[in-house]
Chain A
Amino acid sequence: GQQLNQSPQSMFIQEGEDVSMNCTSSSIFNTWLWYKQDPGEGPVLLIALYKAGELTSNGRLTAQFGITRKDSFLNISASIPSDVGIYFCAGQSGNFNKFYFGSGTKLNVKP
Chain B
Amino acid sequence: GAGVSQSPSNKVTEKGKDVELRCDPISGHTALYWYRQRLGQGLEFLIYFQGNSAPDKSGLPSDRFSAERTGESVSTLTIQRTQQEDSAVYLCASSKTSGASLETQYFGPGTRLLVL
Contacts and interface: CB of A to CB of B under 8 A. Distances in A.
26 contacts: A41-B107, A42-B4, A42-B91, A42-B93, A42-B108, A42-B109, A43-B43, A43-B91, A43-B107, A44-B107, A45-B105, A50-B102, A88-B42, A92-B102, A97-B50, A97-B98, A98-B45, A98-B59, A99-B33, A99-B43, A99-B45, A101-B42, A101-B43, A102-B42, A103-B41, A104-B42
Contacts of A50: 102
Interface in B78-113: 91, 93, 98-102, 104-105, 107-110
A110 B56 CA distance: 43
B72 interface: no
A44 B104 CA distance: 10
B11 to A, nearest CB: 15
A74 interface: no
B2 to A, nearest CB: 14
Contacts, number: 60
Contacts of A31: 102
A6 B42 contact: yes
- Majority SS of interface residues in chain B? loop
Interface of B: 4, 31, 33, 35, 40-45, 48, 50, 56, 58-59, 91, 93, 98-102, 104-105, 107-110
Interface string A35-65: 0000011111100101000000000000000
A88 to B, nearest CB: 6
A8 B99 CA distance: 33
Contacts of B45: 98-100
Interface of A: 4, 6, 31, 40-45, 48, 50, 88, 90, 92, 95-104
A84 B31 CA distance: 30
B44 to A, nearest CB: 7
A52 to B, nearest CB: 15
A31 B100 CA distance: 13
Contact of B43 (A40, A41, A44, A88): A88
